Amino acid sequence: MASDVHENVERHPGLTPLSSTLCADPDNQRSESPAPALTQGNEPGAAQDEAMFVHAQSYEDLTGEVEVPLPQSPGPEGNVEISSMEQISEDFSKLSTQLSVSSVQSIEQNPEEDTEMGHEDAASSSSSPEGDGGSRVLDDWYQHQKHVFVLSEAGKPVYSRYRSEEALSSTAGVMMALVSFLESEKNAIRSIHAEAYKVVFVRRSPLVLVSVSHTQQSEQEISQQLLYVYYQIVSLVTGAQLHHLFQQRPSYDLRQLLSGSERITDKLLDSMDVDPSFLLGAVCCHPMIANLRDATTYCLQQAKAKSLVFSILMSNNHLVTLVRKKDQYLHPIDLHLLFNLVTSSSSFREGEAWTPVCLPKFNPSGFFHAHISYLSHKPELCLLMVSTDREDFFTASDCKRKIVERLEKKGTWTSLKEALRNPFYDVTQIGIPELRHFLYKSKSSGLLTRLVMDATRGSNEVCE
């Protein structure tokens, strides 16, 4: 936002923030919050020597990845023992062989034989008391092409993409032993290539993120996706709180704090498998004529409030427009995380929500608070307003009301809803007969535009 001026807003008697109604009872859980336990946390700028905002002259100032030296943990409690390299290699060979055999059997055998063999394999690798049901779950777990695990440096499980505690417990020790062994040799492990599998490691203290996959993705692509998972976790607890927890208790079980937020990380991983904007580090922009976008942006600019940092209009994971304070730039990673938060929960569609959120690339040390409301469901149009004041729900709600009034008064609302009905444009609109598809990223703004693949030419010609 360009202005820091806001008039005093009277509270509407019939309007109450979701956080107030749902958190009045201490035993009640907030349905709109990504992690119900996270009602407390440092406010943005609290207990910081630096300024709350990172001032930048352009978007390019944010694109460089700053490497922060990782603190070494002094022998965390409950850490795994360092094994020999030969034993670790043997354990990983067994894991990759087990995955490969299970995948081949699922293709070559009929369903009856596959089920029977799946029970035998799962029984040999797990002593789960659940019997055949547990074996079937474990066998299904091995069929997935890409697994993602998050562990603490003490070897405690934090997240598993497909929720198999039996399989995770049998592999977490091996993964941490390998990381610890190489770190003791003053080295850092990045990846292992075993048969058809890639095992990629990303360490962001106090967490270790691991992907086991047999896809065509490169090591760099997988590492980038693991970084997104790390930022997703930080967005729920803040980087400062994450480090504080593990400094106090190295063997802390982070799952207690993240309980209920697994679906958000699941949605993020699913999106990264199909959306090229994550790979390109850009945000996909909704196509519309310049005059309409300018008129929409003007309506957002007129809804001024001192505590608002960003006002964002989005539709189906596409950016419609964004208004910001002077010298404040929102990184595409933060926008992706905000979009993912909104689309991961249907409760945001039911009314005006007020939820804490950390923007890890903007300021990882504290919570901002986001006002989330849908202006339209068909076509989908969502308004996000990011505030520095946790008590600012009614101010943000009044800004939302003013935005809707201005859109309707200026006649922009009808045109905007019509433009949102199609989030892509067709190749025929470009006017180049030979053109099949393209993606274009603006490096100066971090925005992306792309065509829809022409399905009429045959699915066998569609590029990966």
Cβ(232)–Cβ(224) under 8 Å? no
Say whether both 172 and 280 belong to one domain. Answer: no
Say whether both 286 and 179 belong to one domain. Answer: no
**Residue range of the domain that includes 94:** 80-147+161-188
Cβ(337)–Cβ(235) under 8 Å? yes
Say whether both 182 and 321 belong to one domain. Answer: no
Say whether both 307 and 440 belong to one domain. Answer: yes
pLDDT tops 90 at residue 286: yes
* CA–CA gap between residue 354 and residue 392 (Å, rounded): 9
Say whether both 381 and 431 belong to one domain. Answer: yes
Cβ(344)–Cβ(235) under 8 Å? no
Burial class (CB in 10 A: 0-12, 13-18, 19+), 297: middle
Say whether both 301 and 430 belong to one domain. Answer: yes
Is residue 98 included in any domain, yes or no? yes
Mean pLDDT of 278-290: 93
Where residue 334 sits, what CATH number does that domain have? 3.30.450.30
pLDDT tens digits, residue range 377-426? 888 999 999 999 999 999 999 999 999 999 998 889 999 999 998 878 87
Is residue 289 included in any domain, yes or no? yes
Is residue 115 included in any domain, yes or no? yes
197: helix, coil or strand? strand
Is residue 31 included in any domain, yes or no? no
pLDDT tops 90 at residue 315: yes
Cβ(277)–Cβ(382) under 8 Å? no
What number of residues does the chain have? 464
Output the pLDDT for position 119. 40
Mean pLDDT of 290-319: 93
> Best-predicted range by mean pLDDT among 42-51, 330-339, 449-458?
330-339
Is residue 61 included in any domain, yes or no? yes
Across all residues in the chain, what is the average pLDDT?
Answer: 74
Say whether both 142 and 287 belong to one domain. Answer: no
Output the pLDDT for position 142. 63
pLDDT tops 70 at residue 464: no
pLDDT tens digits, residue range 319-363? 999 999 988 889 999 999 999 999 998 889 888 999 999 999 999
Say whether both 121 and 61 belong to one domain. Answer: no
Angle value at C-alpha 211, between 210 and 215, nearest 5 degrees: 165
Say whether both 141 and 288 belong to one domain. Answer: no
Say whether both 61 and 179 belong to one domain. Answer: no
Output the pLDDT for position 347. 87
Would you tell me how many other CB atoms lie within 10 Å of the CB of residue 316?
15
Say whether both 287 and 435 belong to one domain. Answer: yes
Output the pLDDT for position 120. 39
pLDDT tops 70 at residue 91: no
Of the candidates 315, 332, 130, 319, the one whose C-alpha atom is nearest the C-alpha of residue 227 is 332
Is residue 50 included in any domain, yes or no? yes
Cβ(324)–Cβ(330) under 8 Å? yes
Domain count, the chain: 2
Q: Which residue has the higher pLDDT, 293 or 89?
A: 293
pLDDT classification of 453: cutoffs 50, 70, 90:
low
Of the candidates 219, 324, 288, the one whose C-alpha atom is nearest the C-alpha of residue 2 is 324
Say whether both 365 and 406 belong to one domain. Answer: yes
Is residue 385 included in any domain, yes or no? yes
Output the pLDDT for position 166. 58
* CA–CA gap between residue 283 and residue 441 (Å, rounded): 9
* CA–CA gap between residue 400 and residue 373 (Å, rounded): 8
pLDDT tens digits, residue range 139-166? 565 677 888 999 888 888 899 888 665 5
Is residue 113 included in any domain, yes or no? yes
